[in-house]
Amino acid sequence: MSTIPLDYETLRLIWWLLLGVLLIGFAIMGGRDLGVGTLLPFAARTDAERRVLLNVVGPTWEGNQVWLIVGGGVIFAAFPPLYAVSFSGFYLAMIVILLALILRPVGFKYRSKIKDDRWRATWDTVLFIGGFVPSLIFGVAVGNVLLGAPFHVDGTMRAFYTGNFFMLLTPFALLCGLVSLGMIGTQGAAVIAGRTTGPLAERARTYGSLAGIVTILLFALAGVWIAFGIDGYAITSTVDGNAAINPLGKSVELTRGGWLANYGLYPWMIAGPVLGFAGLAGAVIGLQARLRLASLLASSVAITGIVATAGLSLFPFLLPSSTVPEASLTLWDASSSHLTLFIMLLVTVFFLPIILLYTAFVFRVMRGTVSTQSLEKNPNAY
């Protein structure tokens, strides 16, 4: 398509970046709600306090979750082979995530509609699971992407996955899960500390600082593990970024610590882990110093850095194959067509700023602290 003003290679790179933006967007925005859900049984002690926590994120969590839904849609539209392989390959893990994503909207909406201790306690557990489980599993998934998934494709591009659910729970993947859980927990604590007062905010500061420090240690441990404990993948044949997709047309080599190679090739990429560590430290300091906005910003920077670290280390891989490394999916051989990528880019360039604008508006309208006093007036409060 000669009429498309951007070449295929550039578009593929842009879409890889945009996918990163959407996933980071979900981790920051959705991380608020998942984090608050995870902290629900710890930070809140009474029914009134739990209601406050739910209403801190109540008016905005639905919009936040759309980042995930659009992230899924964008993988489908921009990297269909990745969508096909990962969603079917991680089938039972997806079912577990869906469990949380099905129960969470219902839990938010239904919990406070009936005044009964057992009813509410049940939904509180549901909301905790709905925050805790996805926070952990998303990290486990990233860990498994770094390890490579057991899949291959045949000549018709049909994918075959040869692993099972329990193979996903390796020590390294679980470590990544804990990093994700810790980073989202820190985010949730920063949100609670910023939007509540009194003992609730105090507890959030304690848990958030603890989560931040633990995450720094776990993130560092994951770095050491990547350097000395697992293999990274590298393409050894020449890559034509403008060619039609063909996941079988390359050769791939595994080397111990190979995921660190990009930091030698492109030194600026070190910004990813640096932002991760600095953000976490900043969040801890901010929480302790009671700087409400600063701790939330720092925690969001930490999320940006940590998610970017995973993406940058993998570049240009999207999903390596552990059984047939040549079949690994990269952004060069698992993308949509030139035309589709271009049309989707036009749509995104138009809508993403509008989305950011009205999201900011909604957050501005709903700003301020939430207290037990403000809830009873609104029959639709959670």
Long-range contacts made by residues 12-16, C-beta under 8 angstroms, separation at least 24? 12/241, 12/331, 12/332, 12/335, 12/341, 13/241, 13/331, 14/341, 14/345, 15/74, 15/78, 15/79, 15/331, 15/335, 15/341, 15/344, 15/345, 16/311, 16/315, 16/316, 16/318, 16/331
Q: Which stretch binds other proteins (CB under 8 A): 5-13, 67-75, 262-270, 301-309?
A: 67-75
Write down the number of H helices and E strands in the chain: 13, 6
- 277 touches other proteins by CB under 8 A: no
What's the closest the beta carbon of residue 187 comes to other proteins, in angstroms? 11
Region at 149 (left for phi over 0; alpha for psi -120 to 50; beta for the rest): beta
- Which one, 75 or 222, has the nearer CB to other proteins? 75
Contacts (CB under 8 A) with other proteins, residues 228-247: 244-246
Shortest reach from residue 381's CB to other proteins, in Å: 7
> Which residues in the 255-274 window bind other proteins by CB under 8 A?
none
Which residue, 128 or 160, has its beta carbon nearer to other proteins? Answer: 160
Q: Which two tokens stand for residue 223?
A: 């770095």
Task: Mark out the alpha helices in 315-381 (DSSP H runs).
Answer: 338-365, 372-375
Q: Which is nearer to other proteins, 261 or 343 (CB)?
A: 343
- What is residue 235's three-state secondary structure? strand
> Least distance to other proteins from the beta carbon of 100, Å?
10
Candidate residues 88, 242, 251, 255; the one interacting with other proteins per rule CB under 8 A:
88
Q: Which of residues 175-204 bind other proteins (CB under 8 A)?
A: 191, 194-195
- State the binding string over 135-164 for other proteins (x if CB under 8 A, else -): --------------------xxxxxxx---
Which range touches other proteins (CB under 8 A), out of 131-139, 219-227, 319-327, 366-374? 366-374
In eight-state DSSP terms, residue 266 is: -
Cβ closer to other proteins: 101 or 210? Answer: 101
Please give the backbone phi and psi of residue 207, each rounded to the nearest 5 degrees, phi first: -65, -40
Interacting residues with other proteins between 96 and 115 (CB under 8 A): 98-99, 101-106, 108-110, 113-115
The reply on whether position 5 binds other proteins by CB under 8 A is no
Binding-residue pattern over the window 31 to 60 for other proteins, x denoting contact by CB under 8 A: -x---------------x---------xxx
SS (H, E, C) 68-91: HHHHHHHHHHHCHHHHHHHHHHCH
Q: Which is nearer to other proteins, 125 or 359 (CB)?
A: 359
All residues at 6 or more sequence positions from 314 whose CB lies less than 8 Å from its CB, including other chains:
145, 146, 259, 320
Q: Which is nearer to other proteins, 63 or 229 (CB)?
A: 63
